[in-house]
Amino acid sequence: MTSLKMKINKYAAIDIGSNAIRLLIMTVIEKEQPLFIKDTYIRLPVRLGEDAFLNGKISEENAQNLFDAIHSFKLALKVNKVSTYKAFATSAMRSAKNGAAILNWIKNDLDIKIEVITGQKEAEMIKLSGVKIPEGIRNEQRIFVDVGGGSTEINIENTRDVVSRSFNIGTIRLLNNSVKQETWDEMRNWIERHTTNITKPIIVGSGGNINKVLKILQVPRYMPIHFDRIWGFYDSIKNMSIIERMQAHRLKLDRADVIEPATRIFINVMTWSGAENIYIPKIGLSDGIIREIYAEAHNENNQDIS
């Protein structure tokens, strides 16, 4: 019998979003089919979007909060003996006039390089997050939707290819009333145009808010949720105060306010695409970053995740 020698590496992803900052560390066991095991996940509620979308720049207080968060992540990388990491910043940093200066400060003082990625790359990476599609829905055409604080990334699969788009519609922008009707119209027109010939699409939803909805509704991770249940949940919370949502669903403060606009975005996407069900595999940008690191380490091209 031939024994296979397996390599074990630790990879890390830092996701600097508009509503929070996340660190994901995974152990990757390298064999014929690599095994990705989640080691550490840290989420810090640093709301860069509240500054960037209202004032066009990150405040000194939040810049310091970001610096401190990245410093703590650097220590976590060292303690966990991470071999390779990548750090990406998304919508808030794309919008902030002083974003580049803040990231240079972090690079110079902490030696942590952070790349600001486009909405297009964000959308494409979320689709490459390692989601496992159950047999029952593999043949249905899928629409990948990731809702963040500053933007919503959408990948639509059709019979020929995949089209991707990022829209400046996010939970923090909606809370601050900074999303114009024409942006909603643009999203609706784009979705309807690219789903005209799609029958029975299913939404593959990602992001912290829809993951929380999955938990609240007590739906098994690999079971689709019908539109009526998502609408019923939204209808039950839309007129609740923040405190009432926290009490009813044991939500943290920084989740209780954004879960309503996030659910609203998913409902709109389902309505405009004609999707009756949403599947929530609990993946996100951080998972895509890890898989990009793995692919680059092995000189492989990213492959379809289905």
Q: Would you give the DSSP letter of residue 35?
A: E
**Per-residue model confidence (pLDDT) at position 139:** 58
**Per-residue model confidence (pLDDT) at position 130:** 62
**Per-residue model confidence (pLDDT) at position 302:** 41
pLDDT by residue (tens digit) across 51-68?
Answer: 999 899 999 999 999 999
Overall size of the chain counted in residues = 306
**Per-residue model confidence (pLDDT) at position 199:** 82
Ranges under pLDDT 50 in the chain: 1-4, 301-306
> Hey, what are 66's tokens?
């970001």
Residues sharing a CB contact under 8 Å with residue 291, sequence separation 6 or more, in sequence order? 36, 128, 129, 130, 302
**Per-residue model confidence (pLDDT) at position 126:** 75
Q: Which of 28, 108, 126, 119 is nearest to 70 (CA)?
A: 108
**Per-residue model confidence (pLDDT) at position 101:** 97
Rounded to whole angstroms, how far apart are CA atoms 128 and 306? 9
> Hey, what are 169's tokens?
């519609």
Q: In what order do the strands lie in the sheet with 225-226?
A: 162-167, 152-157, 142-147, 202-206, 277-279, 225-226
pLDDT by residue (tens digit) across 75-120?
Answer: 999 999 999 999 999 999 999 999 999 999 999 999 999 999 988 8
Number of alpha carbons in the 13 Å side-chain half-sphere of residue 235: 6
**Per-residue model confidence (pLDDT) at position 2:** 39
* Structural domains for the chain: 7-120 (3.30.420.40), 131-282 (3.30.420.150)
